[in-house]
Structures are given as structure tokens and as C-alpha cells.
Structure 1
Amino acid sequence: MGSRQLESFVTERCRSGTLTVTEACHLFDRLLTTRDPAPTIYPFNHLFTTLVRMNNLTNHYPTIFSLFNQLTQTNQISPNVYTYNILINCCMRVDRIGLAFVLLGRALKEGPGSNPGVFNPLLKGLCKDSRIHEAAAIVLDKMPKLGCTPDLFSYNTLMNGICKMGQIGKAEELVDYMVSKGLQPDVVTYTTLIDGLCKKGLLDKATQILQCMISKDLEPNVVTYNALMNVLCKKGEIEKAEELLDFMVSKRVQPDIVTYSILIDGLCKKGLLDKATQILQCMISKDLEPNVVTYNALMNVLCKKGEIEKAEELLDFMVSKGVQPDIVTYSILIDGLCKKGLLDNANQMVQCMISEGLEPDVVTYNALMDVLCKKGEIENAEKLLSFMVSKAVQPDIVSYTILIDGLCKKGLLDKANQMVQYMISKGLEPNVVTFNVLMDMLSKKGEIEKAEELLDFMVSKGVQPDLVTYNILIDGLCKKGLLDTAYQMVQCMISKGLEPDVVTFNALMDMLCKKGEIEKAEELLDFMVSKAVQPDIVSYTILIDGLCKKGLLHKAEQILQCMISKGLEPDVVTFNALMDMLCKKGEIEKAEELLDFMVSKGVQPDIVTYNVLIDGLRKKGLLHKAEQILQCMISKGLEPNVVTYNALGCTAQTKRN
């Protein structure tokens, strides 16, 4: 076989995708010993490229450099710029940056180093390792000094690294610099900058860059539009994202799997599952198969809506389509099962995940730990924490906060504080959620001064209070009757740029109603509406209860009608407030009618409902009827409590008399 025939054969074998390391070495040796004429560098480059692209590069990269050394020792075939590009790229992939610099030095000495193609893989590797300063020094200083002019790829690589570090100002300066050097930015340059701006949430500036790009007759590509769509969806501006989709299609830019996945995820996060499903069908109709990211977005919203069965059906469907679930898929399902209290099912899902070769991560363990804590099984949660550590999975701030919250809810404040100290010893600083958990416990125990001290402490640690923090304190102050101090806390919150929400107003309204200041509570309701804060079921129930306690039943009924007109259905607490008022006024028949009405509305009576009615019947001397209500309550699976027994005790005494 002649030299040129052998070159063609090597090229064909490299393109076949079936070449092995052994065969590559054999072909290399044949090329190296071929004479008259000697082969060109190109088949050697094909072999190097194929070897670099093979799996398990870390196992055979020494072979690549051994072959390169053999090539250079012949003194007949000179490596060209592509040879050095391939080999330096190989060095960066196996984290041998020192060897990459050695190869660069050799290229500079032998001639090809004046071509930016030799530098570019080194720049790419440095940027990937976040060594931006070194990459910038090469592009802006060393390359020009060595007589090598950076090309567009050089600048775009550096731009990508700078943007990924979030240094948008420097990225913009780089665009100006490259223009000053006579190099015009291309679609990749602008798209990289737009993506960086979008990731920083600077949508307006990104849009300006887009307009600038279009004005230079550079058409945005699908990557450009995806960057903009991603930030719109993250900001919840779904309508604008859909408009952008229509616009890109009008510009003959076809959406890809990433485009649709971004939009589906955005719709899911807004709870628009039906619309997300429509987009999924549209995507499939365009022969774009959903990937695991797409399915995970849909599964996540199903689990958050509590539709676990549908989520499991979706899992089966994606597997039937050849899409393998990943760790995120299983973590979503496990979390959903845990939130439904289905711990056994969640554990089964963990076993299924492990059988697929996927090890549970910290997110998986956190979901399991959370359900254990919510069920009050603190010891089991602590055992799980120890188990995850034994599996080399390091607990994060969420893990410890879940456990601290569980301990606080069990009233084990000392143990919770110990866990905080342990967490800190592991190098994890408490965040605002951790502090809120501790503060909530103190507030519920009535230890407001300690809660305020904790607020000062968290601020001293550089942790800024959020709306939840202030709401916890305001609620605690209100429950202690310290209304003036609560109002001061509201002012403090506003001064920090945090606007009161419905929870804030409810705490204040509850305090006013408990003090009998109904008019002020009504004024506060009007004020919150004027501030575009919509009252919820709790707001109206607080006011209804306050009016009932003042004997203003007619006004309470008006508020009830107002609430219903706004699409808010009364809950058991609302009905209990009204029933209590009716019973205290001796209007037992109306109270019984109200019981029938609430049941017809799908609201199940609770122990409070029955206790109120039993007490009302007893006070009217309707002892037999009271006992009937008791039996009805027990038949519903509700056990009598101390309030029930007190009422029944009076009944028994009356009977004896």
C-alpha cells in the first residue's frame, strides 16, 4: 500500500468510529515507517484527534504523547498548528496544564506558535478552571508580544470566562478593546455578553446589546434567544417569554429543546401546568423529543400540587420514551412523597434509585429528614443525618436547619442550640432561615426579649432579616399585647425596604380584635387593600371572630358574604366563630343549620365545632341532643378532649340533680 493510499485508509478508519487504541498505534507505526514519499502530517493529526475523543482519555493520554515524541524524533514530519491544538487540548482535558505550557513553548520555538490556534485550547482550559487573570494576560499581553495576534475565538473564549465569573463590566470593556484592535465582534461575542447580562438579571441592558447586534446586521441565533427567554421566565414574565418565542420564529430561528424546556419550566413555576403540557405537545409535534430536564420541570409542578400519582405516571412515560431518570428526577419524586407523608413509598423510591446506579445526594436525604421531623420522629432524623455522613454525603445548611426546626417544634430549644453550634463547627454559618426557625420558637414560647436579642445577633453576623423574620417578631409582640412595639417593628421593617404582607397585617388585626378594637381592625383591613395587599381567609376569619365576640353577628355575616364574593371559601375556623356566637346567643337551631351548611360546602367539622355545639345544647338544657352530637363526633373519628368532658361533666351533674 502506497503512502497516499495509507493516508486515505487511516482517514477512513478514524472516521469510522470503531478505531481502537491498539489499531491506532499500529497505523501510526505504519505511517511512520512509510517512505517515498513520506506521509504528510494530516493522517497523524486524524489519529491524534480520534485518540483524544475516545472514552477514558485519562487512561490512554500517555500513549498520545508517546506517539507525539516518536513523531518529532523522525525529523521528517513536522507538527503543524493543528497538531499542537489537538495535543494542548488533550492536556487541558486531563488537567496537565504544565505539559500544555511545555507544548506551547515548543510550538513557539518551531514556528506554529505564531498562530492563535495553538493558544486557543490553552485559553479555553484556563477559563474553564476560572483562571481568568492568566487567560487575560495571554490574550492582551503575551500573544501580541510573541507576534501572535489573538483571533475572534481567542477573544470569545476570554469573554465567556469573564462572563461566567460575573464580571460583566470587564466583558463590556473587552468588546470595546477588541473593536479598537480592528476585530469586529460576531454573534458568539454578543450572545456571550447577552447571556452574562441575563444571568445577572440585567434584562434591559441585555436587550440593548441585542438591538446593537441587530443594527450591525448580526442575526441573533437560538442561543441568544434562549438566554433572554431564560431570564424572562426566571422573572416570571411568561407572557413576554411567549412573545419572544413568536418573534424568534418570525425571524426564522427555530426553537430547540432548550427553548421549549425553558418555557415549560417557567410555566410550571407559575403553576400553569395545562399550558406547559400544550408546549410539550407542540415540541413533540416538531420532532423534538423532551429530555430529562423537560420531564423534571413537569414532574416538579405535579409534586408541588400534590398530584403524586400523575408524577409517577409521568416517570413511567418518560422511561417508556427511552429517557432515563436522573438524580433530580428521583429527588423531586421523593420530596413529593415525603410532603404527602408517604415515607414508606419515599424509601421504596430511594431503593429504586439506588438499583439504577444513582446514589442519594444531600437533596434526597433532606427530603427524608424533613418528613421525619414533621412527623416528630427526631431520633430517626438524627440517625439519618449520621447515616448520610457515613455514606460520604455532607449535610448542608438545609440539612441542619431542618433538624433544628424539628427540635424547636418539639420544644427542645437547648438541643436545637447545640445543633447550631455543631453546624458552625463544621464551617456552616446559620442563614436567615436557621435564625427564623430559632426566633419562631422563642416567639411562640413568649420569650420576645430573647427573640429580639437573636435579631441583633443575626444582624451582627451579617445575616439580613427578611420578611419572615419581622413577621415572626411582630406576631410574637402582638400575642404579648405589645401592639405599640409591634407597630415600631413594622416601621423598622419598612425602613429596610420590606413591605408588610398579608401575614403582617393579620397579626396586627388579630391583636386589635382581641383587644376589642374592631373599628381599628376594619380600618386596617381597608388600609391593607389600599396597599394592594389582598386579604386572605385568615384576615376575614380574624375579623369575623372579632365581630362575633362583640356580639355583632349581623356585621360578621356581612363580612362572610364579602369574603365569599371575593372567591374565598370559609374554612372550619370561620364557621366555628359564627357557630360560637349563635350558641352564646342561644340560637341553637341556627347553629345546627350552620353545621349542615358547612358540611354541604365540603367543610368537615372539627373537635372545636362539636364542642361549641355540645356546650350550646347543654346550656339550653337539651342534654339528650348534646349526647347525640357527642356520639356523632366519635363516629367521625374525633376523640372527646378536656373541653368536651367539661361540658359533659356539667351534663352529668345536671342529671344527678
Structure 2
Amino acid sequence: MVMGTRQLESLVKERYRSGTLTIKDALQIFDRLLVAKSPAPSIISFNQLFTALTHMKNSNNHYATVFALFNRLTQPKIVSASPSTCTYCILISYCIRINQPRLGLVFLGRFIKGGQRAEPNIFNPLLKGLCSQNRISEAISIVLNKMPKLGCTPNVISYNTVLDGLCKEGEVSKAFNLFDRMLSGGIAPDVVTYNSLIDGLCKEGAISKAFSLFERMLSEGIVPNVITYSTLINGLCKEGDTEKAEDLLSYMISEGLQPDVVTYNTLVDGLCKKGQLGKAVEMLQSMVSKGHDPDVVTYTTIIDALCKEGETENAEELLCNMISRGTNPDVQTYSTLIDGLCKLDKLEKAKKLLNEMVSKGILLDTVTCTIIVDALCKKGEPDRAEKLLFDMIDQGATPNLITYTSVINGYSKLGCWKELIRVFKHMVDRGFLPDEVTYGSMMDSLCKQGQIKEAQKLLDLMVRGGIKPDVVSYRILLIGYANYGTIDDMMKILDRMQLNHVAPDLSTYTSVLKAYAKNKKVDQIMCVLTRMKQEGVKPDIVASAPILELLLEMGRHEDAKVVMDQTSGKTND
């Protein structure tokens, strides 16, 4: 059945309001509206189609279609409806939602070129997009220059958008300059204006100025909202003034405003950070008694504070209470409690909690698993840690460099270098490039096992991989040569350090001097001491004692005097 213009328009209106318009339907109706002539369709129907298309699921993927339809609508041969200000608003807003303010500027250019009367609502979405991309200076230029030039006076939304952008960037003084321009232009601020400025001041730590602005807001008859009070409460908590924050909460309630969960969470967090855990728990109980439902953030904040105080049993009890009240813990909640249990060496409880988390369908994450892996390794059970690492991979979680390094460190401390190499190879196979800490741990394990040549190969591999060995890596190798290798190779390592611009520290030189003293290599000792003097490293009594004992035993009193003078800081230039 052929449908007339008014029937098509009614169909668009009905499907638009019901939200049942598909992309296929929209394209078909658009084609039919485009050629309708008697009577010509209203631009309202086209705008409804554009609105539907730009708000559909996965609308980010439809931008080429949307822009093509707009181009068809604006073709010179089309005698149908012309794009209105509303059309451009829809398309500019869409460009901002898909994070394409550049395209929004293009549509703005088309709008201005079309000679239509500019209104603030055509600019406001664009201002929001520019601010979201930290292009604040462009947004300011539009408000102060482009809009007035086109005969368009920015409204309170225009100013609020840019003021908020400036405050979020920490440009509070510039925000107040713009605020003054806003007032001088006769634009009355609203609660949103003051909320942005108060938030900016609070983030700067200028809490007294924030309260002065709050008082000014009240004097002008602007009623604060929940956001205003929550922002000030957050600012007070960051300053550690939880007592005043509690007073403000009470005042807010007395003024007839009910705090939301964000307000309560802000204060709970502030109390926990101040060490006022008892008050935080009381706040939680107060929330419940007043009919406010604590969320996962509320519970997790208090669980974290309890764990930091070592009160893991109370934290476990709170977790059970949370679940019984219908609030589901998330991975952060479990991770927090697991970390607390691991720090108290309650590994079996931590592992049980991990299994509970998985059984609830919460996916294992890297942080949670790494916490238990590290705890097992510190307890001397790297084999169990390695098993957990592979279980983690089997369940779809991705270990990171820290996870692998924890297992490598665990095996390193036990001298299990074969197991260490196995984990190292697995790590590299999965595309993780070890850092100097991982290499250092492996080199230390190999050196303790007398595998000096293997440790040297690792150092070479480290360099080839683009990682510059630090002084700790070289010291590990030097100690390895001192204990198991050729003592003469130690000087070669020192030379290599110098060549690679790595300055040996006192600890490194002390290790070398002790090794030479033990092997009675006096000439090498004096050579190292000369090098230390040149580099401005003064030996301490720990380094000097075995050397002096050896020199006096061998009757080299002049050399002993040189060592004593160098240790005390005297010069013999």
C-alpha cells in the first residue's frame, strides 16, 4: 500500500516514540519522505529519524549512514524540508557522543554558512565535546568571541560547560575570570555554576574559599543541592576535618535535603582515612536505619579499613552482612579482604575466599591472584604459587610481570634455579619482557647455585633486550664471582660498569674489597681504593676493617695508613 506524506509522518512519530524503529525501517521511510511532494514532509519527521538513528544500539557504527542521509537531505535538487536548527543540534550532539568534536565543528560551519539564526543550544553540545577533550581554549574562544560575533549570546549552560571544564583541568583562577565575564554579561549563575566552582576550589585545597562561595550562593537565594553538600563534605574530608564534615551532613538533612549514597560514601571514606573506623561503622548503621542502602563502595571502604587495622574477622563478618542484605561484593571487595588475610598469613582463608569469588561467577583478575601468589612465595611455597598462576591462566585471567616475578623471586630464595628458569621461559613465551628486577632475582639465584656463567649470560641477554643493568645487577654478579668464580674477573666487571656509565656504590665496592681481602690480593685492593677515591666513594669501617687487618699482617704499614686516611676523609694530594 502506498502511504501518503501524513501517513508516513504518523508512522515515524509512532515508531519514534515507541522506540521500535530499526535502521532498515529508518532508511526505507527516509527514502520515501525524501521524494514526497504533496504535501511536502515536515523537517520534524526527518529530525525524529536522525534522533532514532543516532541513539540506536551501536550507533557509533552508523555515523557514515547518518552523514550520508544528511548530505542527501541538503542536495540542491531536493525540494523537501530543509535542515533546521534542531537538525544541526541533533547531529552536533551525535558527533560529541561518538567523540568526534572535529566533525561537530564541520556541522557548525555548515549551519553558519546556511545563514540560520545562531542559538546557544547549537553551540552547547560542541562546547561539552571540546571540554571533554581538554580543548578548553577553543571552547573559551567560542563563548567569548565566535558566539557574540554571530549575534548569539551564550546562556548559563554555555558558561557552565566551560567553567566546569576549566575547574576539572585545575584552572580555577581562569574559571573565576570567566565567571566575572558571565556576571558582567548579565547571565545569572545557577546551582550548577556554583557547584563547579566549589568543586574546583575544594580540589585545590582552598576549602575556606569554597565555603565563602557557598555563603555567597545562599545570600543570592540559590538553593544548594545534594551535589553542593557532597562536594563540600568531600573537601572537608580531604583536609581531615571529618568533624565539620559530619556537622555539614547534619545541617544538610535539617534543610530537608536527603544525602545520597555518594554523600555517605564520601564521609565513610574520610572517617576511615582519619583512622575513625568506629565512626565509619556507625555511619554505615545510620544509613541502614534511615532507609538508605549502602552500596558495594560503602562496604568495600570499611572492609579495607578493617583489614588495614588487622581486623580481618570483623571484615569477614561485614562481608557476610553485606551479602545477606543483598549487596553483591565485586572483585575489589574480595581483593581487599584477600590482601588483608594474606598480610596476616591466613593463606588458607584467602584461598577459600578466592574459590568463593570464582564460584559466584566473578572473574579472576590479575591483582587478586598476584596478591595470593606473592603471599605464597613469601611463605616459601613457590610451587603452590606457580600452580595458582597456571590455574589463573586456565580460568581466563592474565598474569602480569609482577605475578611472574613473584614466583621467580620465590624460587630464587630457595635456590631452585631449574624451576626458576622454567617459569622465566613461560613468561617470555607469553610475551612478557622481564625487567631489571626479574633479571636480578634470577641472576641472584643462579649465582647462589654457583651458576656464574649462566648469570653472566642473563646479564648479556638483559643488555641485548634493551634493558640497562643497574648497580644491583652488577653487584649480584660481582658477589657471584667472589664466591664461586674467578676472583680476577671482578675487575673486568668493574671496568664494564664504568664503560656502561653505571657508578658502583659503596656496597658494591665493599663486596669487591672483602673478596680481595679474603684472597689476600693486596695490589688489587689498592687499585680499587684508588678508583673509589677518584669517584668520590669513601670506604667505611665495614669495608676498611678486613683490609687493614690484612695490610698490618703483611707489614704494609704505609698502605694501611693510606687506607685509614681515606676512610677518615683525609687527603694525601
Aligned to 2:54: 52
Cα distance change, pair 21–321 in 1 and its aligned pair in 2 (3 A): farther
Deviation sequence 1:115-171 (CA, Å, 0-9, x none): 222222222122112222332333333333344332222221111111111122211
Question: Superposition RMSD on alpha carbons, in Å?
Answer: 4.6
- 5+ long unaligned stretches in structure 2: 416-435, 443-458, 473-504, 511-539, 541-573
Distance in structure 2 (CA, Å) of the matches to 1:81 and 1:427: 58
Tell me the secondary structure at the aligned position of residue 222 of structure 2: coil
Of the three residues 293, 298, 302, the one matched with 1:298 is 302
Cα distance change, pair 178–252 in 1 and its aligned pair in 2 (3 A): same
Of the three residues 249, 260, 271, the one matched with 2:253 is 249
Distance in structure 2 (CA, Å) of the matches to 1:341 and 1:246: 42
Structure 1 residues 8-19: aligned runs within 5 Å:
9-19=11-21
1:43 is matched by which residue type in structure 2?
Answer: S
Cα distance change, pair 310–59 in 1 and its aligned pair in 2 (3 A): farther
2:246 is matched by which residue type in structure 1?
Answer: E
Distance in structure 2 (CA, Å) of the matches to 1:368 and 1:2: 69
2:47 is matched by which residue type in structure 1?
Answer: N
Cα distance change, pair 312–18 in 1 and its aligned pair in 2 (3 A): farther
Q: Work out whether residues 225 and 248 of structure 1, in 8 Å CA contact, stay in contact via their aligned partners in 2.
A: yes
Structure 1 residues 109-148: aligned runs within 5 Å:
109-112=113-116, 114-148=118-152
Aligned to 2:343: 339
2:128 is matched by which residue type in structure 1?
Answer: K
Q: Work out whether residues 264 and 279 of structure 1, in 8 Å CA contact, stay in contact via their aligned partners in 2.
A: yes
Cα distance change, pair 35–370 in 1 and its aligned pair in 2 (3 A): same
Q: Work out whether residues 407 and 415 of structure 1, in 8 Å CA contact, stay in contact via their aligned partners in 2.
A: no
Distance in structure 2 (CA, Å) of the matches to 1:281 and 1:265: 15
Distance in structure 2 (CA, Å) of the matches to 1:400 and 1:164: 38
Aligned to 1:206: 210
Normalising by structure 1, we get a TM-score of 0.56
Q: Which has the higher contact order (CA 8 A, sep 6+)?
A: 2
Q: How big is the shift at 1:240?
A: 1.1
2:41 is matched by which residue type in structure 1?
Answer: P
Distance in structure 1 (CA, Å) of the matches to 2:57 and 2:220: 42
Deviation sequence 1:379-430 (CA, Å, 0-9, x none): 987999999999767668xx8999999999999xx979947999xx9999x9
Aligned to 1:166: 170
Aligned to 1:149: 153
Normalising by structure 2, we get a TM-score of 0.63
Aligned to 1:96: 100
Distance in structure 2 (CA, Å) of the matches to 1:331 and 1:307: 16
Aligned to 1:588: none
Tell me the secondary structure at the aligned position of residue 232 of structure 1: helix
Cα distance change, pair 56–285 in 1 and its aligned pair in 2 (3 A): farther
Of the three residues 65, 68, 73, the one matched with 1:66 is 68
Tell me the secondary structure at the aligned position of residue 114 of structure 1: coil
Cα distance change, pair 57–356 in 1 and its aligned pair in 2 (3 A): farther
Tell me the secondary structure at the aligned position of residue 74 of structure 2: helix
Of the three residues 190, 195, 199, the one matched with 1:195 is 199
Confirm whether residue 234 of structure 1 aligns to residue 238 of structure 2. Answer: yes
Aligned to 1:280: 284
Cα distance change, pair 42–415 in 1 and its aligned pair in 2 (3 A): closer
1:80 is matched by which residue type in structure 2?
Answer: S
Distance in structure 1 (CA, Å) of the matches to 2:466 and 2:261: 41
Deviation sequence 1:610-655 (CA, Å, 0-9, x none): xxxxxxxxxxxxxxxxxxxxxxxxxxxxxxxxxxxxxxxxxxxxxx
Aligned to 1:375: 379
Tell me the secondary structure at the aligned position of residue 130 of structure 1: coil
1:37 is matched by which residue type in structure 2?
Answer: P
Q: Work out whether residues 339 and 371 of structure 1, in 8 Å CA contact, stay in contact via their aligned partners in 2.
A: yes
Q: How big is the shift at 1:63?
A: 3.2
Q: Work out whether residues 378 and 403 of structure 1, in 8 Å CA contact, stay in contact via their aligned partners in 2.
A: yes
- 5+ long unaligned stretches in structure 1: 435-447, 454-476, 478-657
Cα distance change, pair 312–211 in 1 and its aligned pair in 2 (3 A): same
Aligned to 1:21: 23
Cα distance change, pair 410–210 in 1 and its aligned pair in 2 (3 A): farther
